[in-house]
Structure 1
Amino acid sequence: MVALLALVLAGCGGSSGKGKNRDGDDAAAPAVPGGNAGAPAYTGPTRGAAGDSFYRPADPLPAGKPGDVLSYRTVPAPAQLASLGATVYQVLYLSTDALGKPAAVSGTIVLPGGVDVSKAPVLSYAAGSHGIGDRCAPSKGIADGSDYGLDEIAAAARHGWVVAATDYQGLGTPGEHTYVVGRAEGHAVIDAARAALRLPGAHPAANAKVAYWGYSQGGGAAAWAGELTATYAPELALVGVAAGGVPADLAEVSKVLEGSQQVGLQFMAAVGFDAAYPELRLDSFLTPAGRTAIDALRAGCLDAIAGLAGKGTADIATINPLSTAVWQKRLAENKLGSAPPSVPLFLYHGTKDVTVAYPQGEALMRAYCAKGATVTWQTFDGDHGAGTAVAPAALDFLTARYANLPTPNTC
C-alpha cells in the first residue's frame, strides 16, 4: 500500500466545492451521438477562458457530436514534455454519460515534437485514481508537472504518438466525478481520442490509428473503451487496448476492500455510482457521521481515503446499499467481459494485488478468451502499486499494434 499511495498521491489536494447533478433517467439509455435535442447548435471550438473558468462549459451544452471540442487552450509544457518539444493543450469536449446524455469532459492533448502530427497515431491515455475533488483533475497536475502519469505520457510522446488524456466526467468540470462507472469512463476515453482528431490546427488524420492504455481505474476505463468502441465510435481505427490492474467486477472489488486500509476507494466508487445513477440515492443510506465522511471524500483527492482506513459500510450507513436490488443492477451493468474488443488486448495484473485482487484480472482474461478475443496476458510479482514496472511492456505492445505487427495470443 505504501507503494500505491506514493504512486497516486502526487499532485492531489484541495477541495471541489461541487454540487450534485440529479438529472437523469431510471434506466440506462443507449449513447446516441447528438442526443441534445433543442440545445443551441454547435458552432465549433473557442479559445478557452483563463483559470478554472475554462472547466465550466456553456449551459445548456451545444448539440454537437461526442468528441467535438468545445474550447481549448495551450498550457506550458511541464519539464517531462518540454524536453521533447511537445505542445500541450487543455481541452473541453463533448462526451456521453452513463445514461446516454451529453456531458462536457475536460482533458489534455499532447502533440509530440519533431514529428509530422498529421501522420501520427493517437493514444487515449486513461489515468488511474486521483480522487474525486475538482482539484485532482489529471489535466491540472499535467499542467504543473506534478501528475504521477506524466512519465507514461512522456514515454508515449517520445514514441511520436499524440496523447489524449481524459479527466473523466465530473473531475474538474461541474457535477460529481463518476468514479469507476465503466460506461461513462469508456465514453470519456473514446471521446478524448475523437477530440484529438478534431483539435483546431495541427491534429492527426481522421483515419489515424487509435489505441487505449490505462492502469487501475484507468485500466477499467481503457477496457470499457475497448468494449464500447464498436457501437459507440465505429469510425475510429482502433488497433489495440492495454489495460492493467483492471477492476472488472466492482461487486467483487467491494468485498476485498471492505474493512481494509483502502476501503475509501469503495466509498469513492459509491459516490461515483450515485453521481451517474440518480435513483441510487446514496445519501439516504448514510448516517450523520457517514455523510461527514463522504463529504470529505467528495472534497479531497486520494489522500482523503486515509481518514476511512479500516472502516466498514456499517460504520457510515444504516443499510449496506450494495445489498439492494437497485445498486446490484447498476453494478452488474458495469461488469466487464461480456463484449470483448475486436482488437488485440494486453492485460496485466499483480499476483499479490490486495486492492484489485488478482483473480479479477485472471477472470477477465479468461472471459475475453472464451469469447474469441486475442489477449496477451502478463502477470507480475507485486501489489497494485507495482504496475508501473510493466509500462515498458505495454509500450512495446502498443508499438507493435501501431505497426500492424503480430502480437502473442495467450488464449
Structure 2
Amino acid sequence: MPEPRDPATLRATLASPAFARLWLAWLAGNVAMWMHEVTAAWRMAQLTDDPLMVALVQAAGTLPLFLLGLPSGALADRFDRRRVYAVAQAALAVVAIVLAVVAATGTATPMLLLALCVANGIGLAVRFPAFAALVPDLVPVHQLSAALTLNALAMNLTRVVGPLIAGAMIAMLGSAAVFAANALMALVACALVLGARVPQAGPAPVRRVHPPLAAAIAEGVRYTVRTPQLRAIVLRAFVFFVQTIGLVALMPLLARRLGDDATLYTAMLAAAGAGAVLVALALPRLPSVRPRGRVVDASVLAYALATVVAVLASSLWLVLPALALSGAAWLSGVNTLTMSAQLLLPPALRARGMAIYQMSIMGASAGGAALWGALASRSSVATALVASALLGLALLPLTRRLSIEDAARPA
C-alpha cells in the first residue's frame, strides 16, 4: 500500500468533505477528552494524596471502554455509524454538564468524581468503534494511511492544546468552566458528524439481515481468535498499554514532586503531546524503512527509557524532554498497531474488530493504572514507574515473536 510521503497526500485526504467533517468532530471531541482527563486527574490530586485514588481516575475512565467495547462495536456494525457516534457525543456533553455543576457547587468527592469519570468512559466506549469503522468508509484504501496519520495528529495536537487550555482555564476560571467548555465542544462534534455523508460507490447494497446482538459479538470474537495476525496485534497492544499507562496515570504526582502547580502539570502533559505530534509527521515513512513489528519494539524500548529518566531526574529541564520522548514512543507504537488492525479487518466486521482491539487497550489501561497505583501506594511513585518500565522490557523478547507484518496488508 502506498505510504503518504508528502503533505500533499494529507491535504488530498482532507479534501474529502465527509472525512473533513469527521476529522473536525474527532478534533473537537478529543480536545474535550484531554481537558476532562487533565482536570479530573488534577482535581483528584487536590482531593486526596492517595496514589491509588489518583491512578483510579484513569482506570475509571478506561474500564467502560473495556467492558462495553464489544457491544458498542456490534451496535456500530448494525446501525448508522454516524448516528451512533453522534449519540455518544451527546451523552458526553450531558456528563460534562453534570461535572460542571458539581465543580461549581463544591460538592465533588473522590468517589463522586470517579463515578462521573466512569460515565464519561461509557460515552467514549460507544464513540471509539463507530469512529474507527467510519474512517475506511470515507477514504479510498490508498489514502487510509494518510487518514490514520491525520487522526493521530488530531489526537496529539489536542493532547497539547487540550491540557494547555485546561490549565489556563483552571488557573483563571476554575474547573467548572473547563467542564462547561467540554460540554460545548461535545455538542459541536455531535453536529459535525451528523453532517458527514458517507459516499456510496456502485449500486445500493442489498439490505443485510443482522444477526442478534449476541451472535454478532460472537462472530467478531471468532474472527479475532482465528486470525493469527489480529491476535498478535491485540496481545501486543495489551502489553504495550500495561507498560505505558503508569506514567500517564501517575503524572499528577510527578508534577507535585516538582512543585504543586497546575501549570507545571500542564507543561508536562504538553511536552508528551509535542513529542507525539513531531513523530506523527515522520511516522508514515517508518514502515518503508523497518518492519512494523520493529517500530513497536523500538517504541517499547524508548518509552521505558523515557519513564526511567522522568522518574529519576530532579530537574524539569530533564523531565520535559523525557516526557516528549514518551509521547513520541507512545504515538509510534499505537499508530502502527492501529493501522495494522484497520487494514486487516473486513468492512462487515470492522467495528467489532476494532472494538476488540479497543478492549485490549482499555483493559490494559484500567488494570495497569490500578496495578501501578496500588504499587505506588505500598511503596512509592518512583518504584511503581520504574517497575512499569522494567515489565515492558522483560516481556519484549516474548511479544516481539508475535508477528504483525502480514496484518499490514489488506486482507
TM-score, length-normalised on structure 1?
A: 0.27
Q: Give the helix-richer structure, 1 or 2.
A: 2
Q: Give the strand-richer structure, 1 or 2.
A: 1
Highest RCO, 1 vs 2 (Cα 8 Å, sep ≥ 6): 2
TM-score, length-normalised on structure 2?
A: 0.27
